[in-house]
Amino acid sequence: MILSNKLLLSAALTFSTAAVTAQNTNQPVFEKINNEVNANSRAYETLRDASQTIGHRLTGSENGKKAEQYAYDLLKSYGYTNLKFQPFEVESWSRGTIDVAFINPDSHESITIKSVALAHSPVKVNETLEMVDMGNGLEDDYLKNPGKANGKIVFAALGLLPGSQGARNLHRSEKTALAIKYGAKGIILFNSVQGGILLTGTASVTGKLNPIPAVCITYEDGMKWKDILQQKTWQAKIAMTNFSGPIKARNVIATIPGKKYPNEKIIVGGHLDSWDLATGATDNGIGSFSILDMARTFKKLNLQCDRTIEFVMFMGEEQGLLGSNAYVKQALKSKTLDQVKYVFNFDMSGAASGFTAGGRKEADAFFKEIGEVIKAVDTSFKNNGGGGRAGLHSDHQPFMLQGIPTASSTGNMRSDIFRCYHADCDRIDLIDKKWMVDQVRFSCMMIYATANAPQLPATRMNDADTKQFLLDNNLKDPLIIAGEWRWKD
């Protein structure tokens, strides 16, 4: 018992000493960051300007090219000379025309349905088939109804239906992959957000063209027709044209070389691209333009760190993590991926109130410790991050699958802004400037502390540990569906 008490006391003293050291080392710089960002942040203003002068930022489009150049020129104006485009060429997709109607097979009555194509639907579709309700569109729904979807058009919820306790939802691309697996000839997903909103996004787990069409309709139409399908069989007509082909895009990378460990990189990234229905203010203007202002802040204050910091604007996230996958593939080819020690990914991130360790529990204490120093600078920072699980479907994923630790922020933005995610209402008037100011100043503090930490809070895992980490975070099944589970059990 005495030995146990001594060990506990020793651990407490060690943590206390580390916390005091962190405060003494970082707080003066944090104060400078706080003053600079509060006085001179340009995050909101540049997002507003880009929204007005460019519009949407779809990868591979002329607007996408303008956005890449806008970010490059902005970073150059902040004084970056260690600045480059990272070009990549991939198969991509853009929408053309769409017509969806529900047809009564007895009376031949046809009712046009407001709809939007989901990305990576086929180039040309014109088919009329029976529509079958598959509930949430999860694998259990298919297993409970063997053969029901075969040769039909699946009708399913994009979110989880009421009464789905215990069910774990899947991404729209994974629901489409399941529909394909069980023989469906098309899938219609209805939005979970009320207000007549249409949501777009990719329906492909591979980033390549799907063999079946996938469309989204509104919540209101979805719930109405779910009731109708309980009473009578209807057909769905899906007619669409789309474009699919090779496109060129560019990540934008600005670098501050490390003074002590120049070959150890901290990536601060987020996706610059958006879907074409709107200007992508929340997804992901609020994250990417905050990162651009973080870069401005580091340069303005001439902040030097022990490790190299790369500010990366990824393109192609919306169409299947194209830019971040290209970064990792190029780094593997050049044998420089080992230099990437940490990845901060800010996707739809604003009003930072804490930082999460991306499921790497060994790093929670570090983020909490530094969070307390941030809180000492400004008590509005709640330091409520930590915990949680690792997830998929953003630009941290390719790095995480290589065992590299990732992190992000938690925020306290109004939740109602996310109803416009991937929708035509995702515009600058949703954004409060203060959310971006807070994101920039608190993230700069955490990034500075991480880049100068005597020891990083987590390190790259080997292949076996990476596998176990993904298993522990319940990511095996979605990765199998996506074809990205590389282990043979």
Number of H helices and number of E strands within the chain?
A: 13, 13
**Three-class secondary structure assignment of 363-415:** HHHHHHHHHHHHHHHCCCCCCCCCCCCCCCCCCCHHHHCCCCCEEEEEECCCH
- Quick one: pLDDT band at residue 292, thresholds 50, 70, 90? very high
| Out of 20-29, 77-86, 101-110, least confident range | 20-29
- Quick one: pLDDT band at residue 23, thresholds 50, 70, 90? confident
Distance CA 68, CA 199 (A): 24
CA atoms within 13 A on the CB side of 257: 7
Distance CA 23, CA 21 (A): 5
Tell me the average pLDDT across 377-389: 91
Distance CA 287, CA 438 (A): 12
Tell me the average pLDDT across 216-224: 98
Residue 263 and residue 341 in contact, taking contact as beta carbons nearer than 8 Å: no
Paired with 99 in beta bridges are 239
pLDDT of residue 343: 98
Per residue in 309-360, pLDDT tens? 999 999 999 999 999 999 999 999 999 999 999 999 999 999 999 999 999 9
- Quick one: pLDDT band at residue 29, thresholds 50, 70, 90? very high
- 488 burial type by CB count under 10 A (0-12 exposed, 13-18 middle, 19+ buried): exposed
Q: What is the pTM of this model?
A: 0.93
Distance CA 439, CA 445 (A): 10
pLDDT of residue 322: 95
pLDDT of residue 91: 86
Distance CA 271, CA 251 (A): 9
Q: What is the DSSP letter of 425?
A: T
Pull the structure tokens for residue 247.
């496109």
β-strands 153-157, 261-271 pairing: unpaired
Average pLDDT of the chain is 94
pLDDT of residue 8: 41
Paired with 8 in beta bridges are none
Distance CA 415, CA 214 (A): 27
Per residue in 37-51, pLDDT tens? 999 999 999 999 999
pLDDT of residue 209: 95
Closest-CA residue to 404 (of 457, 459, 477, 482):
459
pLDDT of residue 21: 66
Residue 426 and residue 361 in contact, taking contact as beta carbons nearer than 8 Å: no
Distance CA 333, CA 212 (A): 34
Helix (H) or strand (E) holding 258: none
Sign of the four-CA dihedral 177, 179, 185, 187: negative
The answer to whether the peptide bond before residue 210 is cis (omega within 30 degrees of 0) is no
3-state secondary structure of 362: helix
- Sequence-ordered list of residues with C-beta below 8 angstroms from that of 77, at least 6 positions apart, any chain: none
- Quick one: pLDDT band at residue 388, thresholds 50, 70, 90? confident
| Out of 64-73, 87-96, 433-442, least confident range | 87-96
Distance CA 44, CA 431 (A): 8
Residue 277 and residue 25 in contact, taking contact as beta carbons nearer than 8 Å: no
Distance CA 346, CA 407 (A): 9
pLDDT of residue 19: 60
- Quick one: pLDDT band at residue 385, thresholds 50, 70, 90? confident
Where helices occur in 138-218 by DSSP H, the ranges are: 139-143, 172-181
- Sequence-ordered list of residues with C-beta below 8 angstroms from that of 16, at least 6 positions apart, any chain: none
Per residue in 130-164, pLDDT tens? 999 999 999 999 999 999 999 999 999 999 999 99
Angle at 54 between CA 50 and CA 56, to 5 degrees: 100
DSSP letters for 304-361: --SEEEEEEEE--STTTSHHHHHHHHHHHHTT-GGGEEEEEE-SS--SEEEEE-TT-G
Per residue in 395-404, pLDDT tens? 999 999 999 9
Per residue in 407-426, pLDDT tens? 999 999 998 899 998 998 99
Alpha carbon 367 to chain centroid distance? 21
User: Is the model's pLDDT at 195 over the cut of 90?
Assistant: yes
Closest-CA residue to 31 (of 441, 447, 306, 454):
441
- Quick one: pLDDT band at residue 180, thresholds 50, 70, 90? very high
Tell me the average pLDDT across 254-265: 98
